[in-house]
Structure 1
């Protein structure tokens, strides 16, 4: 299913859903950040996705990382809340989603790297390697907050 992201765009379609989602900024022992290149838009992003009815947001982040990258992680903190109404995501099936994402900090605890149906590629990046990557600017905001640290983003 294809995905198109809009930000502060008057031509964006009107949202018809709000999905609670979790993502994770996963760091390894060397301080590298785990990212995936998504199949639905070709852009780099942190692993993440919608929360299931029977799980917490941190559990959703852990599950999504495992499903999308093959790695097991432990949530250690909060990067921020990302609920900007100007960010709209349209899917080819007609769903138009308003952004609602809670991004957690996590560390690697096991598993093996693999791609999934949602990722073309999964890789670890040093902070110096992040600048040249193709990613939506709302994802770049999360990456910047994760790498720089500090108080959780509230937005």
Structure 2
């Protein structure tokens, strides 16, 4: 049974995570606006940066948008702006792969330099063991969140 102190800390941590998420969303709005794109387009750039080239269907699933016109419009905008290119899958020429144009992605990444600097500064106060614990927690949390997103999307 959780102690009252553990319950208090868990509630504080949850509130802190909610605040952090709020600021992350605001940061992504600010960076997308500076880059001249909307947040969905920017998140597609992030997904490609983190996970490498993907099919339009995979990007649509990740963004929670339709695989027809909506993802096509996103890719069209990103391609026109020079952020992505469409290539053919070498194993299946009928299949399209979307990949980042590195030079443009680097230009977009510059908007995140201040948060990267803040992140590194905050880590300076932690031991390697503490950082390893944080890394483990964030990895496990991030692995679980897509299921929560799916659950929320399915709700009436």
Q: TM-score, normalised by structure 2?
A: 0.29
Q: TM-score, normalised by structure 1?
A: 0.30
The structure carrying a bigger strand percent of its residues is 1
The structure carrying a bigger helix percent of its residues is 2
Name the larger-Rg structure. Answer: 2
